[in-house]
Structure 1
């Protein structure tokens, strides 16, 4: 997940869409090639085999399969943050998730791949 200010989305739309497509490609690679992704994690973090495997096992289930943020998952997280006292009021999905920007970026991904 990435966070951007609205002014960045508006001032650099092509870069933002390219970044979203890059996230989608990375997430797709991780889903389709988990052993290679684990090896890349090991090399990037300079971990020994046991620690790399433990780290991968602990994190692989929480890896996104797409840059899209489902409204249902957002609401679960939103309510958690309210109940935990991390935020005072729930924040509307459409106020924080630029789903139209994400959809537009991913719609163009097949023509630019």
Structure 2
């Protein structure tokens, strides 16, 4: 995640530099930020990450250009995709719930419902 953040930061700085050279306004980010107040189901959090198959060391030393990580088979890839990157949380539902809470038409979340429960 840090690499993505640094990449985005670099892209913004490059745009600012190029905009200044071209005499135009730099790109302004206009994304609406929302707070997701839903938690993940326990079975999603506790599903262990699949281990990526790797090329045997004996084979690696024969060819230093060979891929070390062999990737998942289709079944494992599908299980891994279902494991979670918060795909179970619909951002539209989260936005609507947040708007209802802000307007007072829904109660605020109780303890245990709030916060980001993504794994570290």
TM-score normalized by the length of structure 1: 0.25
Q: Which has the larger radius of gyration?
A: 2
In proportion to residue count, which structure has more helix? 1
